[in-house]
Amino acid sequence: MKNNLVLFLFILMSSFSIAQNKLTWEQMAKVTFKEKYLETLDQLVLYPTFPTTLNQLNGKNVEITGYFLDIHPTKKTYILSKNPMASCFFCGGAGPETAMELQFSTVQKIETDAIVTITGKLFLNKDDIEHFNFILRQCKVTKTH
């Protein structure tokens, strides 16, 4: 009986140690952008500066809720957005701080604009214009609303 109690407490404590940090769209909105000329594209590109609060979450497991955008499921291209598809940043309704790239290991079968809670490892992208500024790797859907 005592061994079972010790095992239960160990499992319980382990689950707290891997708890997710909550990430909010309000935190993401604190990023600032500076235009820089990119010679290879011959145009100005927005480069982010992340505040300390976001830098502290870089590389950590986070949890965030938003609208699931199924951009290209066969290529596993998904986005989590603060807004539904009709008003996301690439549709003209908001900025790049209102969406994040989701990297799953498998194809997801979730409808566009479904509200979901996602967990994964946050990566802040400052330089690679081929990807979003916010990337969530090793994603898992933990809840659909």
| pLDDT at res. 74 | 73
Tell me, yes or no, whether 6 lies in a domain. Answer: no
Residue 1 lies inside a defined structural domain of this protein: no
Residue 9 lies in a domain: no
Is the residue at 57 inside a domain? yes
CA distance 145 to 125: 28
**Token digits for 121?**
């490892």
Q: Does 89 score more than 80 pLDDT?
A: no
Tell me the residue range of the domain where 103 lies: 20-144
Number of domains in the chain: 1
Q: Is residue 7's pLDDT more than 80? A: no
CATH number at residue 89: 2.40.50.870
What tens digit of pLDDT does each residue of 45-85 get?
Answer: 989 999 999 999 999 999 999 999 988 867 788 999 999 88
| Residue-wise burial string across 131-144, b where 16 or more C-beta atoms lie within 10 A, e elsewhere | ebbbbbeebebeee
DSSP letter assigned to residue 93 = S
Q: Give CA–CA dist 69/90, Å, rounded.
A: 12
Q: Quick check: 104 and 76 in contact, CB under 8 A?
A: yes
- Residue with tokens 């009986």, as numbered in its chain: 1
